Structure formats: C-alpha cells, structure tokens
Structure 1
Amino acid sequence: MAASTDHDERAGADAAADEPASRRRGTGRIALAVSVFGELLITAGLVLGLFVVYSLWWTNVVADRAADKQSDKVRDHWLDRGPGSLDTKNGIGFLHVPAMKNGEVLVKKGTSTKVLNGGVAGYYTDPVKSALPQDEKGNFALAAHRDGHGAKFHNIDKIKKGDPVVFETKDDWYVYKVFSVLPETSKYNVKVLGAVPKQSGVKKAGRYITLTTCTPVYTSRYRYVVWGELERVEKVDNARTPPAELR
C-alpha cells in the first residue's frame, strides 16, 4: 500500500513538473506571435507613412519642378513670336488668383491625370468643351489638383465673392470677378461647366470662368466650383505690368 502511494506521489510530481514547462512553451509561442505581429504593424505604419509623404509632399516637389520648366518654356516661346491667337501646344497662359496665394499657374489643354499631375491647371475638352478667354461668349472651365501633384487649387475654399481671378496670355490680361461659389456638388455634374452655368445664378450667355477641383481635401468624392465673370481685358505692355488686382 505504501509503495502504491509513493508511486502516485512521484507520478503527481512529474505531472506537476511537466505542466509548467508546457504552459511556458505555449506562452512563448504566443509572445513570439505577438512580437511578429507588432513588427508587421510597425512596418505597415512606416510604409503607410512613406506613402503619405510621397503623395502629399514629394509629388508636389516633382510637379512644381516640372511646372516651372514648362512655364519657362512658354514664356520663352512668347518672346519668339509676335501677337496672335493662343498657342495650345505647351500652355495657353497663366492663371493668377490672389486669394489662393499660389503664384501663377500654367494652364494647358485637357484635364487628364497626365496633364494635371504636371502641376498645372487644364481647361476641359471632355465631357464639355471649354470656351477660351478670347471667345465672345462661353465658359472658360478649368480644373487642377487640390492635394498632391502641385495642389494648385488647394486653397480654392479661400476664394470669396468679389475676389479677382486674372488670366494672362502673351498679349492680354483677362480680369474676372468671382460672383458665385458652390462648395460641393457631384463629380458627375457637368452642368457647372456649361456655356450658361445656371447653378451659378446666371441665366444668359456671357464670358465666364469656372474653377473646379476635388473636395473634401484629400478625397475626390465631390467637386468644389467657383465662377467668375469677365470685367475687362487689358493689353499687355512692354513691361508686362500686371493689372491693379495683382499689384
């Protein structure tokens, strides 16, 4: 009877000794899994952070450099040619909007991603064909990025009614005055680009300018729209003295 008891006691002791070791191995595997998962999260966070830096900062640097080169090319081209119609090859002119505090913005033909990623604004050719500033009637409709790739219209929400919008060509300054703002509309709403953009409040043809970009910031869910109407055209003098609105 005593031998059986001793055997039971030894078996119990062995089981007690084995149980903590097994538990320690299980705990070690869980700790390892948690450690690996944590490292993966840190790596993913770093990758995401680098992507954000690339999207919101580096693409601006690259686009601004490209836009500066294109702008210089356009101005050099202007020096080599006499008066005439707008040249749509490299850029038709420069947009100046003091309220956005972004300097001059080169305007080119088209609103494709390829065009706008170059740090410029583009005038619509599809789905609506934009008028050009020199046209007697129509809507000069433009688009640009609001974040990344130059973000030329990032501060579009700073534009208010009565603010000036000036478009510069080789021979003329087109001075517009903002008369209506639409903070949010569907990105499929092409009526805002029409020759008579009725959502702006106008009811008859005129000489309008429309600025469009994505909203809210860092998304492309909706469109932000600003409308202006031409007030006057000034000829460019030899010194390229800007109109009063830009001084």
Structure 2
Amino acid sequence: MGTAMRGGRRRRGRTAVALGLLGELLITLGLVLALFVGYSLWWTDVLADRTAGHAGDRLRQTWGIPAAPPADGAAAGPAPQYAAGDGVGFLHVPAFGRGDQTLIRMGTTAQVLDEGVAGVYEEPYRSAMPWDAEGNFALAAHRDGHGARFHDLDKVAVGDPVVVETRDAWYVYRVAGALPQTSKYDVGVVAPVPEGSPFTGPGRYLTLTTCTPVYTSRYRMAVWAQLVRVDPVDARRTPPPELR
C-alpha cells in the first residue's frame, strides 16, 4: 500500500507541475497578445500620426512656393498629375471633431494607408480629382490602427459637410447617402457614378470608404457626398464657413 500511495503522489505531483507550466504558458501567451493589440491599436497610431504630420507639413511648405507663371501668350498649363504616394491635399470632416484634418495621398496600398492618411483610389476605377468637370473622388482610410483616420465614419450623417483642401481651392461637399455595410469586394461603391448611392447620373462626387465592423476587415462601408461649392484660397488661407 505504501508503494501505491507513493506512486499516486508522484502522479499527482507530475500533474500539478504540468498544470503549473500550462498556466504559465497561457499567462505568457495572454501578455504577448495584449502587447500585440497595444501595438496594433495604439503604437501604430502614434507612428502614423507622426509620419502623416511631417508629410502634411512638407506639403504645405511646397504650397508656399509660388508656381511658375506661364510664358507670355501661353495658356495656363494642365491640372497637375500625381504619382502613387504624392500628397494631394487635406480632408476635413467636421463630424470627426473640431480641427480634424487628414492628409490625402495617391494610392490605397497598405504602404500608403499605414502612414495615417486617406488614399485616393487608382483601381479598379481611377478616381476623378476634385477639380475635374465630373467624376468620383474616392478615398479610403483605416478605421483602426495606423492613424484610424476613418474610425468615426459611421458618425457622418446625411447633410453633413465634408471639405477637401487643395493648394488653390476649398471643395465643399454635402453628404447625400451612406451604405453601412457591403462586401469588401463591392467595387461599385467607388465607380464614377457610385452604385448604391443616391446619384443616378454623372456629377462631381466624393466617396469615403473604410472597413467595418470596428476592429475587423470583414466588410466595407461607404459615405457619399456631392460637390456644392468651390471657394478659392485667399492670401490668408481662410477656411470656408463649414470649418469655422
């Protein structure tokens, strides 16, 4: 009997050791996951905001350099052409909070969006630019992590203003509709005449897209707006009333 009791104690001892090791492993795994979540949802925001801030400052500095005048008798040149990653301007969404602004750059690759900006769609439809006679200026941004510029996109309501700031003009849009959820493969939402939007023919539109629900990338949401006014930039760069 003594031998059996000693054998039982040894088995219980080994079980206790194994459970202890398993517990420590689970605690370690939990800490690693917590650190990863912290990195994804906080530290990437810090880095992205810093990068976007520097890039935005550089863009505004270039705006301070006078453009070369056309040669005598020559017509003004064509609208500027932008390559992937180039800065275009700034997006202002008052519904996101007072003073909110987001740098706009060409492209929607992870390399672009991870820097805390709104990216201009170049495919499957190449976006029209705000100054074009017609078309859809379609933008994407992260909802969580990497700046989370569109985290509150679901708070934008019909009738809200959205303003795009470029070197020479303020483009004032008015929200006309939204699609809370659709497939992330639904490219029609960024078409020249966005599918599912209130628009039925060509016009001057703005589309904002991001992932949904929060903290996932399973679906896509879209907000659509229509241009209502273009205000030229004055010497003091006074923002339009919608931003004051």
TM-score scaled to structure 2, two decimals? 0.92
Query: In 2, are the aligned partners of 1:96 and 1:167 still within 8 Å (CA)?
Result: yes
Q: Say yes or no: does 1:80 pair with 2:65.
A: yes
State the match for 2:72 in structure 1. none
State the match for 2:13 in structure 1. 28
Q: Say yes or no: does 1:92 pair with 2:88.
A: yes
CA drift of 1:80 comes to: 1.1
RMSD over aligned Cα atoms: 1.3
**Alignment-mate amino acid for residue 185 of structure 2:** Y
State the match for 2:140 in structure 1. 143
Q: Say yes or no: does 1:120 pair with 2:117.
A: yes
**Alignment-mate amino acid for residue 56 of structure 1:** L
CA drift of 1:88 comes to: 2.9
Query: In 1, are the aligned partners of 2:206 and 2:226 still within 8 Å (CA)?
Result: yes
SS of corresponding position for 1:213: strand
Q: Say yes or no: does 1:53 pair with 2:49.
A: no
CA drift of 1:121 comes to: 0.5
State the match for 1:3 in structure 2. none
**Alignment-mate amino acid for residue 100 of structure 1:** F
**Alignment-mate amino acid for residue 148 of structure 1:** G
TM-score scaled to structure 1, two decimals? 0.91
CA drift of 1:81 comes to: 3.2
CA drift of 1:86 comes to: 4.3
State the match for 1:11 in structure 2. none
Provide, for residues 159-215 of structure 1, a one-character-per-residue CA deviation record: whole Å limited to 9, x for no partner. 000000000001100000000010001111111111111411211100000000000
Q: Distance in 1 between matches of 2:224 and 2:120?
A: 14
Query: Structure 2, unaligned stretches of length 5 or more?
Result: 69-76
Q: Distance in 2 between matches of 1:38 and 1:223?
A: 39
Q: Distance in 2 between matches of 1:123 and 1:37?
A: 48
**Alignment-mate amino acid for residue 93 of structure 2:** V
| Residues matched between the structures, number | 232
SS of corresponding position for 1:153: coil
Provide, for residues 103-133 of structure 1, a one-character-per-residue CA deviation record: whole Å limited to 9, x for no partner. 1100000000000001000110011111000
**Alignment-mate amino acid for residue 25 of structure 2:** L
1:196-207 equivalent positions in 2, closer than 5 A:
196-207=193-204
Q: Distance in 1 between matches of 2:81 and 2:94?
A: 25
State the match for 2:190 in structure 1. 193
Provide, for residues 9-33 of structure 1, a one-character-per-residue CA deviation record: whole Å limited to 9, x for no partner. xxxxxxx111111110000000000
State the match for 1:214 in structure 2. 211
SS of corresponding position for 1:99: helix
* Structure showing greater Rg: 1
Provide, for residues 65-117 of structure 1, a one-character-per-residue CA deviation record: whole Å limited to 9, x for no partner. 00001000000011113287346363010000010227110000000000000
SS of corresponding position for 1:92: strand
SS of corresponding position for 2:196: helix
Identity of aligned residues (%): 56
Q: Distance in 2 between matches of 1:234 and 1:60?
A: 32
State the match for 1:103 in structure 2. 100
